[in-house]
């Protein structure tokens, strides 16, 4: 993992050292407790964000892992007499194991997105708390830790708890920071934006989510283990409370859940607000306040307090960086790939795919030769998009053979197919909303066949943005682009992985004639540099101008395959499009 700003570790050390010596100032004990609570919530909110903020999989079960940590320490220290400090890493590990176990199953379920994952994690909390409550782990009366010996710092065990709390918060926030700037973090954000697109770009989504979940739970468990010693008396109701999960979510959202520092800001702010307004006393007022802030934040301030600040900065930077718009230019620094023109690159043999009774592809056989531009046409519903989805790995084949450069694609997951050098665009552009234009393109370079690291990928991405004429929009968010620019972004992203095969799905739809001419020019240049192109289109003039060969699909069958002008005059092609009278 690389760090973007050199002073950051220094910053962390300074802040850490500064906070570490606070107890020695002799302030009233209240301050230490207050700061400790801030550290605890910073750790909980940040650890929640590592999964849920970064990937968008909202976990409502953070309380389960926190509680698991609490009870691991309680059980090990009280029932087994372990030294307190040794229980902490075990608490973290056990919580992480739970998380990975749940994630391993849950993330495999393809349709388990959004609310379902939230409910699942909620249910897990209840199950875990019931088990703890009814077995010897707690059994009902709660567990007393007051007898557990704690090492003393600054003259009392409270000082140790303070320092440990600080340490855990620092480690958690530092991890969030490191992930945020790493390749893994980029992948997580891509998952948040559009998981299907991320997978097809080469992001190993399952693995990334699982590890993020595990890490998130680890820190929650760690914090729980420590908090057990702070509380000295733990009960199931308090430890596994729904409120723990909701508070963590709230604090993270309040500060800004997609940023590594947002949750800490939220934790600090919320703790301060709650303490100053209610003196930590009135639980009723606490709850009303939390409820009100929850509602206000999620409706009116979805980016969070700190998040909004960060986005505003980013937008300002993007506007300042807008240079003169540059026309699409072919840059020469990347070597054109030596192609073996004429050899078979993609082979489809008897490919079949059906959906709920509709045979979308019925024994499709075709070959794509290296170095050509192949047009794929056919009336609506003929199976063109389905074929692209099958080749890129979004759909599984029902039958037949599909091979690319000799490799069998049928058994591969989509991200592995991307690694082989297959890339595609979407008819309706699907950029990742959370990432800048530059990062959208860099994503492909990072997870494509070359798997560049973040800075190198960004450098490559610049090149492709210049190539497609989007250089002045590099730091902007995709939402600010118009349709033409979003199509160019699709193209740049598809090219950034330097694919051997590029699948273009109706890239011209919605473009004006001038924009279309520019796009066609770009595609020609792409082919000249050694990329094979499959070009799905309805705009017939473009097909006739651009393609070397055309395959016509109708009702999932290949009905023609040959030179464009010849094919479009064949009787059954004319009949497929216009009907019998014309043939």
Partner 1 sequence: MLEVADLDVAYGDAPALWNVSLTVRDRELVAIVGPNGAGKTTLINAIAGLLPARRGDIRFGGHDLSRCAAHQVCGHGIAIVPEGRRLFIAMTVEENLEIGCYIPTARTARQKSLDRVYSIFPILRERRRQAAGALSGGMQQMLAIGRALMACPRLLLLDEPSLGLAPALVDHLFEVVTEIHRDGVAVLLVEQNVAKALEIAGRAYVLEQGRIVSEGPPADLLRQPHIQEAYLGHGGQVA
Partner 2 sequence: MPSLTLLLQSVLSGLFLGGLYGLLGLGLSLTWGMLRLINLTYFALAFLGAYLTYQLATVFRVDPLLTLLLIIPGFFLLGVLLQEAFVRAGVNEFISLIVTFGLTLIIEAVIQWIWTADFRRLESGYGAISFRIGKLFVPLPELLAFLIAAAVSFLTWAWLKWTYVGKAMRATAEDPQIAAAFGVNHRRLALLISGLGAAYAGIAGAFIALIYTLAPSQVYAWIGVVFAAVIIGGLGNPLGLLAAGILIGVSEAVTMAVTAPGWAPLVSFTLLILVLLLRPERI
- Residues that bind partner 2 in the complex, under the rule CB under 8 A: 58, 105-106, 109, 111-112, 114-116, 118-120, 122-124, 126-127, 130-131, 133-134, 140, 242, 246, 249, 284-288, 290-295, 298-299
Binding mask 250-279 for partner 1 (x = CB under 8 A): ------------------------------
CA distances, 507 to each of 361, 425, 494, 542 (Å): 22, 7, 12, 11
CB of 309 to partner 2, least distance (A): 22
541 contact, one of partner 2, partner 1, none, CB 5-8 Å limit per kind? partner 1
CB of 399 to partner 1, least distance (A): 21
CA distances, 442 to each of 460, 469, 472, 496, 574 (Å): 7, 16, 16, 7, 43
Measured from the CB atom, is 307 or 378 closer to partner 1? 378
CB of 542 to partner 1, least distance (A): 9
What number of CA atoms fall less than 13 Å from residue 231's CA on the CB side?
A: 21
Binding mask 485-524 for partner 1 (x = CB under 8 A): ---------------------x--xx--------------
In angstroms, the CA 551 to CA 374 distance is 7
CB of 253 to partner 1, least distance (A): 28
In angstroms, the CA 562 to CA 374 distance is 10
- For CA atoms 55, 59, 64, 67, give the dihedral sign: positive
* The only residue of 16, 280, 381, 449 in contact with partner 1, by rule CB under 8 A: 381
Q: Which residues pair with 126 in a beta bridge?
A: none
For the chain, how long is the longest CA-to-CA vector? 97
Q: Which of residues 81-110 bind partner 1 (CB under 8 A)?
A: none
130 contact, one of partner 1, partner 2, none, CB 5-8 Å limit per kind? partner 2
Q: Tell whether residue 579 is a contact of partner 1 (CB under 8 A).
A: yes
Q: Report residue 307 CA to chain centroid gap.
A: 17
CB of 90 to partner 1, least distance (A): 50
Stretch near partner 1 under the rule CB under 8 A, chosen from 60-68, 150-158, 254-262, 375-383? 375-383
Count of residues that bind partner 1 according to CB under 8 A: 31
In angstroms, the CA 540 to CA 127 distance is 60
Measured from the CB atom, is 83 or 562 closer to partner 1? 562
Measured from the CB atom, is 187 or 469 closer to partner 1? 469
CA distances, 200 to each of 392, 394, 493, 521 (Å): 7, 7, 12, 26
131 contact, one of partner 2, partner 1, none, CB 5-8 Å limit per kind? partner 2
Nearest to 537 by CA among 378, 394, 428, 429: 378
Q: Which residues pair with 233 in a beta bridge?
A: 144
Contact 324, 273 (CB under 8 A): no
Contact 50, 179 (CB under 8 A): yes
In angstroms, the CA 483 to CA 430 distance is 11
Q: Which residues pair with 402 in a beta bridge?
A: 348
User: Residue 72: which H helix or E strand, with range?
Assistant: helix 62-74
Q: Tell whether residue 573 is a contact of partner 1 (CB under 8 A).
A: yes
Tell me the angle at which helices 262-278 and 242-255 cross, rounded to the nearest 10 degrees.
Answer: 110
**Residue 511, phi then psi, degrees to nearest 5:** -95, 150
Stretch near partner 1 under the rule CB under 8 A, chosen from 119-127, 212-220, 296-304, 378-386? 378-386
528 contact, one of partner 2, partner 1, none, CB 5-8 Å limit per kind? none
CB of 136 to partner 2, least distance (A): 13
DSSP per residue, 396-420: --SEEEEEETTEE-TTS-HHHHHHH
Question: How would you list the strands of the sheet with 399-404, edge to edge?
Answer: 358-369, 344-355, 399-404, 407-408
Q: Tell whether residue 358 is a contact of partner 1 (CB under 8 A).
A: yes
SS3 92: helix
118 contact, one of partner 2, partner 1, none, CB 5-8 Å limit per kind? partner 2
* The only residue of 15, 104, 483, 563 in contact with partner 1, by rule CB under 8 A: 483
574 contact, one of partner 2, partner 1, none, CB 5-8 Å limit per kind? partner 1
Contact 2, 453 (CB under 8 A): yes
CB of 376 to partner 2, least distance (A): 31
246 contact, one of partner 1, partner 2, none, CB 5-8 Å limit per kind? partner 2
Measured from the CB atom, is 115 or 572 closer to partner 2? 115
Q: Tell whether residue 557 is a contact of partner 1 (CB under 8 A).
A: no
CB of 483 to partner 2, least distance (A): 23
114 contact, one of partner 1, partner 2, none, CB 5-8 Å limit per kind? partner 2
Tokens of 256: 């800004």
411 burial type by CB count under 10 A (0-12 exposed, 13-18 middle, 19+ buried): exposed
Q: Tell whether residue 571 is a contact of partner 1 (CB under 8 A).
A: yes
In angstroms, the CA 348 to CA 353 distance is 12
CB of 18 to partner 2, least distance (A): 35
Gyration radius of the chain over CA positions: 28
Stretch near partner 1 under the rule CB under 8 A, chosen from 276-284, 286-294, 409-417, 573-581? 573-581
Q: Which of residues 535-554 bind partner 1 (CB under 8 A)?
A: 538-541, 543-544
CB of 325 to partner 1, least distance (A): 18
SS3 313: helix
Q: Tell whether residue 583 is a contact of partner 1 (CB under 8 A).
A: yes
Q: Tell whether residue 379 is a contact of partner 1 (CB under 8 A).
A: yes
CA distances, 244 to each of 59, 161, 165, 208, 417 (Å): 12, 20, 17, 25, 41
Q: Tell whether residue 574 is a contact of partner 1 (CB under 8 A).
A: yes
In angstroms, the CA 579 to CA 576 distance is 6
Measured from the CB atom, is 365 or 570 closer to partner 1? 570
CB of 566 to partner 1, least distance (A): 7
112 contact, one of partner 1, partner 2, none, CB 5-8 Å limit per kind? partner 2
Q: Where along the sequence are the contacts to partner 1 (CB under 8 A)? A: 357-358, 379-381, 482-483, 506, 509-510, 538-541, 543-544, 565-566, 568-571, 573-574, 577-583
């Amino acid at each position: 993992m690389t760090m973007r700003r050199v002073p950051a570790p220094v910053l962390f050390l300074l802040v850490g050292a500064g906070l570490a010596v606070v107890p020695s100032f002799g302030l009233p004990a209240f301050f230490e407790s207050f700061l400790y609570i801030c550290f605890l919530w910073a750790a909980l909110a940040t650890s929640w964000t590592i999964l849920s903020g970064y990937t968008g999989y909202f976990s409502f079960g953070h309380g389960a892992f926190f509680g698991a940590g609490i009870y691991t320490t309680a059980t090990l220290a009280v029932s087994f007499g372990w030294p307190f400090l040794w229980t902490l890493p075990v608490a973290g590990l056990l919580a992480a194991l739970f998380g990975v176990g749940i994630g391993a199953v849950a993330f495999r379920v393809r349709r388990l997105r959004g609310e379902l994952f939230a409910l699942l994690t909620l249910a897990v909390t209840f199950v875990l708390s019931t088990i703890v409550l009814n077995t010897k782990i707690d059994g009902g009366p709660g567990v007393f830790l007051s007898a557990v010996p704690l090492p003393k710092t600054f003259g009392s065990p409270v000082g140790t708890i303070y320092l440990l709390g600080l340490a855990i918060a620092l480690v958690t926030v530092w991890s969030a920071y490191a992930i945020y700037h790493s390749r893994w973090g980029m992948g997580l954000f891509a998952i948040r934006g559009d998981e299907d697109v991320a997978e097809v770009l080469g992001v190993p989504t399952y693995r990334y989510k699982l590890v993020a979940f595990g890490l998130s739970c680890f820190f929650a468990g760690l914090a729980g283990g420590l908090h057990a010693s702070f509380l000295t008396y733990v009960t199931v109701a308090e430890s596994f409370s729904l409120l723990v999960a909701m508070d963590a979510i709230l604090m993270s959202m309040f500060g800004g859940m997609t940023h590594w520092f947002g949750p800490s800001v939220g934790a600090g702010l919320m703790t301060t607000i709650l303490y100053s307004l209610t003196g930590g006393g009135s639980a009723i007022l606490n709850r009303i306040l939390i409820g009100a802030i929850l509602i206000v934040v999620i409706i009116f301030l979805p980016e969070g307090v700190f998040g909004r600040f960060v986005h505003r900065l980013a937008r300002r930077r993007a506007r300042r960086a807008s240079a003169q718009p540059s026309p699409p230019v072919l840059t020469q620094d990347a070597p054109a790939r030596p192609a073996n023109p004429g050899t078979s690159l993609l082979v489809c043999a008897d490919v079949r795919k059906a959906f709920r009774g509709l045979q979308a592809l019925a024994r499709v056989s075709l070959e794509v030769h290296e170095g050509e531009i192949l047009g794929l046409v056919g009336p609506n519903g003929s199976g063109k998009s389905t074929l692209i989805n099958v080749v890129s790995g979004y759909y599984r084949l029902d039958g037949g053979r599909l091979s690319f450069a000799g490799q069998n694609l049928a058994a591969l997951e989509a991200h592995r197919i991307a690694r082989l050098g297959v890339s595609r665009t979407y008819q309706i552009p699907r950029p990742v909303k959370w990432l800048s234009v530059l990062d959208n393109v860099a994503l492909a370079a990072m997870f494509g066949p070359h798997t560049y690291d973040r800075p190198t990928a960004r450098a490559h991405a610049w090149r492709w943005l210049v190539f497609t004429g989007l250089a002045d929009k590099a730091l902007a968010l995709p939402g600010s682009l118009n349709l033409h620019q979003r199509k160019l972004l699709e193209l740049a992203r598809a090219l950034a992985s330097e694919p051997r095969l590029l699948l273009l799905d109706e890239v011209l739809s919605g473009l004006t004639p001038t924009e279309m001419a520019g796009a066609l020019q770009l595609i020609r240049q792409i082919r000249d540099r050694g990329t094979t192109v499959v070009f799905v289109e309805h705009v017939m003039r473009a097909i006739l101008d651009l393609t070397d060969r055309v395959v016509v699909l109708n009702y999932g069958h290949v009905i023609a395959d040959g030179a464009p002008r010849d094919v479009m005059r064949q009787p059954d092609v004319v009949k497929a499009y216009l009907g019998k009278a014309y043939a």
